[in-house]
Amino acid sequence: MIQIEVPLGERSYPVLVGPAALGELSSLVPDDVRRVAFVTQENIGISTEIHLPTSTHYLPNGEEAKQLSVIESLCSAFAQGGLTRSDLIVGIGGGVVTDVAGFAAAVYHRGIRVLHVPTTLLGQIDAAIGGKTGVNLSEGKNLVGAFWQPCGVICDTELLASLPEREMRSGMGELAKYHFLGGGQLDSLPLDERVAACVRIKAEVVASDEREGGGRALLNYGHTLAHALEIEGSFDLRHGEAVAIGIEYAAMLAHEMGRISDASLEEHRRVLHAYGLPRGLPAGSNPDRIVKLFGRDKKAKNGFTFVLDGPEGLEVVEGIPENLLRKILERM
């Protein structure tokens, strides 16, 4: 078992990574907890024994679970079950479940403790770590939420065995970005060490910038084009696949700007290929619309803004000329 701490002073918490880590759940339940509310999805089918009274609450599948009305129903069910301020919510699922369980925990009784058991690769290396929680509005994704750190996270890598192949590959898209955030040759490591290496990087970034004032933005490597493709599209792309295409684009852009060498561009391509990820724009992409969407990106305060690789590693680069963005889109 690998244990990593997310160092946030008195809100620090452990992340346990390894096969069968779920067996350690009881050891992370704080002593004064009297009741546990599990939040999960029916198709996940993962449960665990615990020596306390429990209730289980099922969320719908997919982004439709990330709605304020679902938070309301969940909190009503907690209240009917007598969940109090000193009890615990345990989210067992992918990023959708941990985002919803985490946000419900942040607002129920003005905040109760939550423990995450991420069951997707994306959840284990990203969504469950760092305390970002939230739901969508019809106006956009993740527009309502809170920073609410869990009291512990369990990344049981055996739970990934039942994950559909496409979901696993989507997680690999997020994994690919950690290669360029100081992870090095992650693809040569066994799965549990790979997950642990990503958790370590994410924990470090979160500790240095909990509320995304600066460094945490680097975690969005590859995400500017990914978000544009997700908004633009009727494309059949999972999030991690869109991120992979975004990483290829960011690498080509950095190369064109003279920020990275031929070898570094090749290394980006090697990593994406090693994980079986797509690199090209989906057929039917519209460069005009994509460039327009780049301008609406949350990071775009000073002209077109991207996280790009360079001599000092990843950094946020502002004021990128529009014609360059178009040129690379056309070349992809």
Using Cβ positions, the residue closest to ligand NAD within the complex turns out to be 95
Q: Return the structure tokens found at 131.
A: 């305390």
CB of 225 to ligand NAD, least distance (A): 16
Q: Which residue has the tokens 């002073």?
A: 9
Closer to ligand NAD by Cβ: residue 88 or 96: 96
Residue from the set 31, 32, 43, 188 that interacts with ligand NAD by CB under 6 A: 43
Size of the site for ligand NAD (CB under 6 A): 28
Residue from the set 18, 91, 94, 150 that interacts with ligand NAD by CB under 6 A: 94
Encode 29-46: b = buried (16+ Cβ within 10 Å), e = exposed. Answer: beeebebbbbbbbeebee
Residue of 116, 169, 174, 255 marked active site: 174
Q: Do 307 and 221 touch, CB atoms closer than 8 A?
A: yes
Active site residue 174: yes
Residue from the set 6, 16, 25, 95 that interacts with ligand NAD by CB under 6 A: 95
CA distance 141 to 139: 7
CB of 177 to ligand NAD, least distance (A): 11
CB of 95 to ligand NAD, least distance (A): 2
Active site residue 167: no
CB of 101 to ligand NAD, least distance (A): 11
Residue from the set 155, 163, 176, 203 that interacts with ligand NAD by CB under 6 A: 163
Q: Of the candidates 219, 230, 247, 225, which has an alpha carbon nearest to the alpha carbon of residue 325?
A: 225
Residue from the set 29, 41, 196, 272 that interacts with ligand NAD by CB under 6 A: 41
Residue from the set 17, 25, 88, 96 that interacts with ligand NAD by CB under 6 A: 96
Active site residue 239: yes
Beta bridge partners of 55: 37
Q: Do 264 and 312 touch, CB atoms closer than 8 A?
A: no
Residue from the set 18, 93, 183, 222 that interacts with ligand NAD by CB under 6 A: 93
**Residues lying near ligand NAD in the complex (CB under 6 A):** 41, 43-44, 61-63, 66, 93-97, 99, 119-120, 122-123, 126-127, 130, 132, 142, 159, 162-163, 167, 170, 239
Annotated active-site positions, please? 110, 132, 174, 202, 212, 216, 220, 223, 227, 239
